[in-house]
Amino acid sequence: MAMTSRQRAYLKSLASNLSPIFQVGKASLTPEITEAVQEAFNNNELIKIAVLKNCADDPREIAEIIGERTHSQVVQVIGKRFVLYKPFKENPKIQLPK
């Protein structure tokens, strides 16, 4: 499902108030982080993740990999932070504009 620019802008506005719930550090992307993000999508549709300064990998690449592994969409990558979106299968809380 490809997002329109309007939907992406809506999700960005919702994410602006979020604090990062995970941090990717020196060990970069580990299976534990991927699993934790997957579990977080059981309670949240929108997640913000921070990449620490000691991580040598590119935040955009990390976002794409996590998005692929968790079947979520990358909403935005700004500096060392990125936002992922995965709607609930039943009764999504976030209603995207058409």
> What are the residue ranges in the chain where pLDDT is below 50?
none
Does the pTM of the predicted model rise above 0.85? Answer: yes
Structural domain contains residue 57: yes
* 16: containing domain: 5-85
Residue 79 CB neighbours (<10 A)? 8
Whether 23 and 50 have beta carbons less than 8 Å apart is answered as: yes
Residue-level pLDDT at 1: 62
Whether 85 and 70 have beta carbons less than 8 Å apart is answered as: no
Give the CATH number of the domain where residue 62 resides. 3.30.110.60
Structural domain contains residue 96: no
Residue-level pLDDT at 90: 86
